[in-house]
Each structure stands twice: as structure tokens, then as C-alpha cells.
């Protein structure tokens, strides 16, 4: 079974802090994604990566950056956290078009 592991289940950070959300997958998948999930808005794509050191903006990249130095690891960075970035963050990985997207358990981030 594919395993996507997010390093933290819950995080509480202060406004202005730099925040790192880490995600690791164990199936050698090429593609990795970061989404945020908010009530009433569903899942929104922040960034995705289709290879090491490659990244593409999703629908809501503002205020975020990403890093993919190794194939198995995709990090989401909030350079200066703001309260409107309080949300559930979901990482996912994907092999190819004929295989499904697999999610991690999520990180619930609260910015105070």
C-alpha cells in the first residue's frame, strides 16, 4: 500500500513565523501535491511537483513556497504565516494517470 506521511498532525504557530510542513511518500511516485481544505471551499491546490526540483503553481500559491530536493519528500513553506492560512493541509502523491491520488493524514495548522 502507498504510504504518504505528513510529519505533524497539529501545529500552532504565531503570525509572522516561518512554517515548514513536511510530506514523505514511500512509493517512488513522480508527482506530489499540496492542498488546503477549508469548510465550504473544498480542496484547493497550492503547488504540485512532477519531479525533483520541479514545481508548478496550483490555484492558490500566494503566501506559499515549496521544495522538492528528493523524490520522496515535498515540503510546503509558509514564509511568514498569517491567520488566513489557518487550515487543514493535505499532501498527496501520484504515480501516473492510470493510478489514483493518495493522501496523507493531513496537518491542521492554526496561526494565532
Partner 1 sequence: GQQLNQSPQSMFIQEGEDVSMNCTSSSIFNTWLWYKQDPGEGPVLLIALYKAGELTSNGRLTAQFGITRKDSFLNISASIPSDVGIYFCAGLYGGSQGNLIFGKGTKLSVKP
Distances (CA, A) of 63 to 5, 29, 74: 23, 26, 17
53, 62, 84, 98: which one binds partner 1 (CB under 8 A)? 98
Round to the nearest angstrom and report the end-to-end CA distance of the chain.
Answer: 37
53: Cα separation from own chain's centroid: 15
- Give CA–CA dist 87/3, Å, rounded: 22
Q: Is 103 in the site for partner 1 (CB under 8 A)?
A: yes
Contact 27, 93 (CB under 8 A): yes
Q: Which is nearer to partner 1, 1 or 69 (CB)?
A: 1
Please, what is the minimum distance in Å from the beta carbon of residue 24 to partner 1?
14
- How many residues of this chain bind partner 1 (CB under 8 A)? 27
Q: Is 58 in the site for partner 1 (CB under 8 A)?
A: yes
Q: Is 100 in the site for partner 1 (CB under 8 A)?
A: yes
- Give CA–CA dist 32/27, Å, rounded: 11
65, 105, 110, 112: which one binds partner 1 (CB under 8 A)? 105
Residue ranges in contact with partner 1 by CB under 8 A = 4, 6, 9, 31, 33, 40-43, 45, 48, 50, 56, 58, 90, 94, 97-106, 108
Amino acid at each position: 500500500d502507498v504510504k504518504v506521511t505528513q510529519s505533524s498532525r497539529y501545529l500552532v504557530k504565531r503570525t509572522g513565523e516561518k512554517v515548514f510542513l513536511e510530506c514523505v511518500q514511500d512509493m517512488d511516485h513522480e508527482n506530489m501535491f499540496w492542498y488546503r481544505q477549508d469548510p465550504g471551499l473544498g480542496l484547493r491546490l497550492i503547488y504540485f511537483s512532477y519531479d525533483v526540483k520541479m514545481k508548478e503553481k496550483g490555484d492558490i500559491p500566494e503566501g506559499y513556497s515549496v521544495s522538492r530536493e528528493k523524490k520522496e519528500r515535498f515540503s510546503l513553506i509558509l514564509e511568514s504565516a498569517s491567520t488566513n492560512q489557518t487550515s487543514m493541509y493535505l499532501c498527496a502523491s501520484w504515480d501516473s494517470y492510470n493510478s489514483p491520488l493518495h493522501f496523507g493524514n493531513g496537518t491542521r495548522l492554526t496561526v494565532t
